[in-house]
Amino acid sequence: MKVLEVKNLRVRFDTPRGRLQAIDEFSLELEAGQTVALVGESGSGKSVAGQAILGLIPRPPGVIETGEVIFGGQNLLVAPAEQLRRVRGKQIAIVFQDPLSALHPLLPIGLQMSEVLEVHEGLSRREARRRCARALGEVGLSDPEQRLDAYPHELSGGMRQRALIAMALLCNPKVLIADEPTTALDVTVQVQILDLLRRLQEQHGTAILFVSHDLGLVARIADRVQVMYAGRVVEVADAPDLYRRPMHPYTLGLLASVPKLSRARELRLLPIPGAPPDPLEPLSGCAFAPRCTFVQKRCVEERPPLAAIARNVSDVVLVGGRRSACFERERVGRTVELPGSLPAGRQDAR
Amino acid sequence: MKPAAASPRWDLPSAPLEALLAKHGSEKGSSLWTQAWTRLRRDRAARWAMWFLSLVGAISLLAPLLPLPSPVAMHVDREPSAPQAPWVAPGAQKFERQYWPLSALDRQLVGLRQTLFQEWQTGPLLGSDAKGRDLLSRLVWGGRTSLAVALAAALTSLILGVVYGGLAGLLGGWADRIMMRIVDGLYALPFTFVVIFVLGLVGSSKSVAGVGREVVFLLAIGALYWLSMARVVRGQVLSLKRAEFVLVARAQGAGPLRILFTHMIPNVLAVVVVYLTLTIPSVMLSEAFLSFLGLGIEPPKVSWGLIAVDAIEAASPLRVYWWLIVFPSLAIGSVLLALNVLGDSLRDALDPRAPGRAAQP
């Protein structure tokens, strides 16, 4: 069952230096209980996409040029403010990257958590407090009802992020947008948070949009992956397929640059040469062309569309609706096979 | 990777948790202000300052009720007399009911004092000034005026500054830029001279367009201080507007009013309260200064600035009347010190991150 659909979203920012095309032709489908990951490096537009869904882009300077965000049969982008407010937090919740700055420094977290209940369910302070304590217990904080009186600075980073996740899930939303929820945390805590998200997802059937730059983490949690580059989706695939057989040179480059302890001796890390294009001066062709090893003359001249890939391309057998924005996608898919390159975790996790 | 089973808390059935919650009776929830109040009470310097200020405030409020001599009854025949020990000659003189035109409430209080203490009054505990007026009485009545002026002017600056600065910060963009350029422009004026000019215009006339001279005086002093208040508030609002926790609140569906009241105002208020306690002392100094120049409170009314004028006038190369200098200075100085200490402690108390906060209850 499709819960959230984004069609052809286009967002730009009017900066003092000119127009910055943050995202273009962005589409997304999210089904109940599914986790879709948005992957890309900084500035690829993945966070903007997540925030645009809830209309949280600051306007100005942000401008949503085209697109639809369909949720519950209505387009959130044109919904009146009052209606949008009823969706926020209640139906679609968001968890931000930095758990310290996402919490009000002068308020105990219990008060901040209960806000969403007061807004949406009109609960009294007392009832809200009870629900919050239970939610904190559910995300694995000890002494939940005492933590309610703690200030953010009195909790560790992992505890803060757990509290924020508990806060986001208080109203049992249908969709959770996790905007790099683990980036500010250390590695062991990252894994705990991922497990927490997956467990809560199984319990509540929440759909998760997981925004991250870390392909290793994404492998642990995502069912489907959308790779973004320079504001556009360049590849969409079910997670296992993407890791086994990337069909866009950028995905390939990302995978090659993920460190793998098991093969550290044989394989050197392969960084992608060059830097992302300046978003203020968009290229007419493929944005990845200047850094691409598969580049053809055609790539520089016209932009490859995000096209579906035939099920069977010569010897390559494909499953699910795969799409890639590369003219040379079949060549990329044929030449590269990464048998052992699937990052640890997902295979044994599922 | 830690399997879920390793944390049994996750699988805690809800019933024991409910019981646990009920047992803790945990509905209290403590706000920023109750927390701050607890921390403030734990601060010894702040406690002293608060006690002292309450005492001064109470004495000032009840001045008409106290068995003091009239602050303006003169005995021109005498030299300034030095303080006398309290057991010397209390009630040696008869109380003369002599004041400037008092408000109705004060008149009643004075009447009450007369029925309570009748003719009895304290002796010259702090001595008397060149015109034979009792210094203690003048200090008490003068403090009454000075504190009232300080509070009123601080309130003016508070309202003007918070509204103006808050508006500029919230509106942002062009409105903000224009409003702040106006503030910059006003800052560039030598404001003391502007106040002197305005008061000079009002002159000695009792009222201008129905507004009393003293109200003009208060507003002028208040206007002197709202500029910095506006800047402080605007800066705070601007940084709050961009704060991520405000974005989180929006993402949770909080409306603009809710964000303003639960997320912005507490933050702004903490700064404002502190700034206010630090403004009041400087307002008091301005009042003393302007009264000293003859532009503020006018005799026969008393204020601490006017008492200082009397002391200067009485001083001569031949003889120093030390009590005329020392006691008014002590009065002004101690109140200013207490206000500054309180302001400082308030700033610490309103910051939950400050050290010294008790462990979790």
CB contact under 8 A, A85 and B360: no
CB contact under 8 A, B253 and A90: yes
CB contact under 8 A, A107 and B252: no
Task: List the single best residue of A51, A92, A98, A104 to mutate versus B (max B Cβ within 10 A).
Answer: A104
Give the whole-angstrom CA distance, residue B136 versus residue B72: 12
Give the whole-angstrom CA distance, residue A145 versus residue B23: 11
Query: What residue type is B3 in one-letter code?
Result: P
Amino acid B6: pLDDT: 41
Contact B278, B336 (CB under 8 A): no
Q: Where are the domains of chain A?
A: 2-222, 227-349
- Exposed/middle/buried for residue B34 (C-beta within 10 Å: 0-12, 13-18, 19+): exposed
Is the minimum CB–CB distance between A93 and chain B shorter than 8 Å? Answer: yes
Is the minimum CB–CB distance between B85 and chain A shorter than 8 Å? Answer: no
User: Nearest CA to B127 among B338, B323, B307?
Assistant: B323
pLDDT surpassing 50 at residue B27: no
User: Three-class SS of residue B56?
Assistant: helix
* Least Cα separation, residue B252 to chain A (angstroms): 4
CB contact under 8 A, B252 and A349: no
Give the whole-angstrom CA distance, residue A210 versus residue B66: 73
Amino acid B52: pLDDT: 92
Q: Compute the Cα dihedral for A15, A17, A23, A25 and give only its sign.
A: positive
* Least Cα separation, residue B314 to chain A (angstroms): 54
CA A72 to chain centre: 21
Domains of chain B: 32-73+102-359 (1.10.3720.10)
What's the per-residue H, E or C state across A64-114? Answer: EEEEEEEECCEECCCCCHHHHHHHECCCEEEECCCCCCCCCCCCCHHHHHH
Give the CATH number of domain A227-349; options: 3.30.2350.10, 3.40.50.300, 3.30.390.50, 3.90.1010.10.
Answer: 3.40.50.300
* Least Cα separation, residue B236 to chain A (angstroms): 14
Give the whole-angstrom CA distance, residue A180 versus residue A235: 19
Confidence grade of residue B154 (pLDDT, cut at 50, 70, 90): confident
Amino acid B329: pLDDT: 85
Which residue, chain included where needed, has tokens 């969706």? Answer: A87
* Cα separations in angstroms, B48 against B40, B143, B151, B278, B279: 11, 19, 20, 17, 20
Task: List the single best residue of B242, B250, B252 to mutate versus A (max A Cβ within 10 A).
Answer: B252
CB contact under 8 A, B353 and A146: no
Cis peptide before B300 (omega within 30 of 0): yes
* Cα separations in angstroms, A53 against A50, A57, B207: 6, 9, 61
Q: Which of B73-77, B191-195, B310-314 has the lowest mean pLDDT?
A: B73-77
Q: How many CB atoms lie within 10 A of CB A126?
A: 12
Give the whole-angstrom CA distance, residue B327 versus residue B136: 9
Interface predicted TM-score (ipTM): 0.75
DSSP letter for A293, please.
S
CB contact under 8 A, A119 and B262: no
Task: List the single best residue of B248, B269, B274 to mutate versus A (max A Cβ within 10 A).
Answer: B248
Q: What is the pLDDT of residues A201-255, one digit of tens each?
A: 888 888 999 998 888 888 888 888 999 988 888 888 888 878 877 888 888 888 8
Amino acid B11: pLDDT: 42
A25-39, A177-191, A231-245: range with highest mean pLDDT: A25-39
CB contact under 8 A, B26 and A107: no
Cis peptide before A181 (omega within 30 of 0): no
DSSP letter string, B127-141: -B-TT--BHHHHHHH
Query: Interior CA angle at A185 toward A181 and A187, to 5°?
Result: 110
Amino acid A312: pLDDT: 58
Is the minimum CB–CB distance between B361 and chain A shorter than 8 Å? Answer: yes
Confidence grade of residue B80 (pLDDT, cut at 50, 70, 90): low
CB contact under 8 A, A88 and B24: no
* All residues at 6 or more sequence positions from A316 whose CB lies less than 8 Å from its CB, including other chains: A245, A330, A333, A334
CB contact under 8 A, A103 and B252: no
Give the whole-angstrom CA distance, residue A262 versus residue A256: 14
* Least Cα separation, residue A312 to chain B (angstroms): 37
What is the average pLDDT across B271-292?
Answer: 82
Is the minimum CB–CB distance between A103 and chain B shorter than 8 Å? Answer: yes
> Around B281, how many Cα atoms within 13 Å sit in the side-chain half-sphere?
19
User: Nearest CA to A183 among A95, A56, A264, A277?
Assistant: A95
Query: What residue type is B346 in one-letter code?
Result: L
Q: Are strands A224-229 and A232-238 parallel, antiparallel or unpaired?
A: antiparallel
pLDDT surpassing 50 at residue B346: yes
* Least Cα separation, residue A295 to chain B (angstroms): 40
The nearest alpha carbon in chain B to A60 belongs to B173
Give the whole-angstrom CA distance, residue A111 versus residue A118: 10
| A176-200 b/e (C-beta count within 10 Å ≥ 16 → b) | bbbbbbbebbeeebbbbbbbbbbbb
What is the average pLDDT across B69-94?
Answer: 66
The nearest alpha carbon in chain B to A179 belongs to B248
Is the minimum CB–CB distance between A314 and chain B shorter than 8 Å? Answer: no
User: Nearest CA to B298 among B145, B82, B193, B155?
Assistant: B145
What is the average pLDDT across B44-70?
Answer: 85
Amino acid A43: pLDDT: 79
Is the minimum CB–CB distance between B228 and chain A shorter than 8 Å? Answer: no
User: Three-class SS of residue B192?
Assistant: helix
Backbone φ/ψ region at A97: left (φ over 0), alpha (ψ -120 to 50), beta: alpha
Token pair, residue B269, equals: 């208020």
CB contact under 8 A, A111 and B10: no
What is the average pLDDT across A318-336?
Answer: 72
Domains A2-222 and A227-349 share a fold: yes
pLDDT surpassing 50 at residue B7: no
Is the minimum CB–CB distance between B76 and chain A shorter than 8 Å? Answer: no
* Cα separations in angstroms, B57 against B100, B146, B303, B335: 21, 11, 15, 10
Confidence grade of residue B51 (pLDDT, cut at 50, 70, 90): very high
Q: What is the pLDDT of residues A268-278, one digit of tens each?
A: 667 777 777 77
Is the minimum CB–CB distance between B19 and chain A shorter than 8 Å? Answer: no
Is the minimum CB–CB distance between B2 and chain A shorter than 8 Å? Answer: yes
User: Three-class SS of residue A267?
Assistant: coil
Amino acid A265: pLDDT: 58
Q: What is the pLDDT of residues B228-270, one digit of tens each?
A: 889 988 988 888 888 888 888 888 888 777 887 778 877 788 7
What is the average pLDDT across B40-51?
Answer: 87
Is the minimum CB–CB distance between A178 and chain B shorter than 8 Å? Answer: no
CB contact under 8 A, A120 and B253: yes
Give the whole-angstrom CA distance, residue A314 versus residue B245: 52
Is the minimum CB–CB distance between B244 and chain A shorter than 8 Å? Answer: yes
What residue spans of chain B are helical by DSSP H?
14-24, 32-42, 44-61, 104-117, 135-171, 173-188, 191-202, 213-242, 244-251, 256-258, 265-292, 304-314, 322-349
CB contact under 8 A, A85 and B255: yes
Confidence grade of residue B101 (pLDDT, cut at 50, 70, 90): confident
Is the minimum CB–CB distance between B254 and chain A shorter than 8 Å? Answer: yes
Confidence grade of residue B207 (pLDDT, cut at 50, 70, 90): low
CB contact under 8 A, B29 and A111: yes
What residue spans of chain A are helical by DSSP H?
46-53, 81-87, 109-121, 125-138, 144-147, 157-168, 187-204, 215-221, 239-244, 249-256, 297-301, 329-335, 346-349
Token pair, residue A167, equals: 């806060």
CATH superfamily of A2-222: P-loop containing nucleotide triphosphate hydrolases (3.40.50.300)
pLDDT surpassing 70 at residue B211: no
pLDDT, mean over chain B: 76
pLDDT surpassing 50 at residue A52: yes
Is the minimum CB–CB distance between B210 and chain A shorter than 8 Å? Answer: no
pLDDT surpassing 60 at residue A343: no
Total CB pairs under 8 A between chain A and B: 129
- Exposed/middle/buried for residue A255 (C-beta within 10 Å: 0-12, 13-18, 19+): buried
Give the whole-angstrom CA distance, residue A251 versus residue A332: 10
- Exposed/middle/buried for residue B351 (C-beta within 10 Å: 0-12, 13-18, 19+): middle
